[in-house]
Amino acid sequence: MLPSLDAATSGLDQFQQEINVIANNIANVDTVGFKSANINFEDTMSMTLGSNAAGSMQVGTGVTTASIANQFTQGTISSNGVPTNLAVDGNGFFLVKDPTSGNLYATRDGDFKVDSNGYLVTSTGERVQGYTDSTDATVGDIQITNAGAPNGDTSTFESCTFDSSGNVNILLADGTQYKGGQVLLQNFSDPGQLMNAGNNLFTGLSLAGPLPAPVAPGSNGLGTLATSSLEMSNVDLSDQLSSLIVAQRAYEANAKVVTTSDEILQDVTNLKR
Residue span of the structural domain in which 94 resides: 77-231
Counting the structural domains of the chain, the total is 2
Amino acid 64: pLDDT: 95
Whether residue 239 sits in one domain with residue 226: no
- 168 and 84, same structural domain? yes
Sorted by sequence, the CB contacts under 8 Å of residue 92 that are 6+ apart come out as: 185, 186, 187, 217, 222, 223
pLDDT of residue 1: 58
- In terms of domains, do 37 and 49 share one? yes
HEC assignment per residue over the chain: CCHHHHHHHHHHHHHHHHHHHHHHHHHCCCCCCCCCEEEEEEECCCEEEEEECCEEEEECCCEEEEEEEECCCCCCEEECCCCCEEEEECCCEEEEECCCCCCEEEECCCECEECCCCEEECCCCCEEEEECCCCCCCEEECECCCCCCHHHCCCCEEEEEECCCCEEEEEECCCCEEEEEEECEECECCHHHCEEEECCEEECCHHHCECCCCECCCCCCCCEEEECEEECCCCCHHHHHHHHHHHHHHHHHHHHHHHHHHHHHHHHHHCCC
Same structural domain, 59 and 135: no
Please check the confidence at residue 273 and state whether its pLDDT lies above 70: no
Judge whether 91 and 101 are in contact, CB under 8 Å: no
Whether 85 and 220 map to the same domain: the answer is: yes
> Are residue 191 and residue 261 in the same domain, yes or no?
no
Nearest CA to 108 out of 202, 172, 38, 3 is that of 202
Residue 39 scores a pLDDT above 70: yes
Q: Supply the mean pLDDT for the chain.
A: 94
Q: Determine the Cα–Cα distance for residues 20 and 68; give it in Å rounded to an integer.
A: 11
How many degrees, rounded to 5, is the angle at CA 245 between CA 239 and CA 249? Answer: 145
Whether 159 and 245 share a structural domain: no
Q: Model-level pTM?
A: 0.90
- Backbone φ, ψ for residue 272 (5° rounding): -80, -10
Higher pLDDT, 148 or 229: 229
Tell me: pLDDT of 141 over 90.
Answer: yes
Tell whether 180 and 220 lie within a shared domain.
yes
Shared domain for 33 and 85, answered yes or no, is no
**Please, are residues 172 and 155 in contact by the beta-carbon 8 Å criterion?**
yes
Residues 114 and 184 placed together within one structural domain of the fold: yes
User: Positive or negative, the Cα torsion across 196, 197, 202, 208?
Assistant: negative
CA 79 to chain centre: 21
More confident site: 266 or 118: 118
Mean pLDDT of 14-23: 98
Q: Binning pLDDT at 50, 70 and 90, where does residue 30 land?
A: very high
Whether 153 has a pLDDT exceeding 90, the answer reads: yes
What Å distances lie between residue 225 and 169, 184, 201, 213, 267, CA to CA?
14, 10, 18, 18, 67
Q: Are strands 120-121 and 139-141 parallel, antiparallel or unpaired?
A: unpaired
CA atoms within 13 A on the CB side of 245: 5
What does the pLDDT look like over 255-267, one tens digit per residue? 999 999 888 888 8
Percent of the chain past pLDDT 70, that is, above it, reads 98
User: Based on the domain organization, do 203 and 249 belong to the same domain?
Assistant: no
Contacts of residue 215, Cβ cutoff 8 Å, sequence gap at least 6: 184, 185, 186, 222
pLDDT digits (tens, 9 = 90+) for 160-196: 999 999 999 999 999 999 999 999 999 999 999 999 9
Q: Same domain, yes or no, for 214 and 250?
A: no
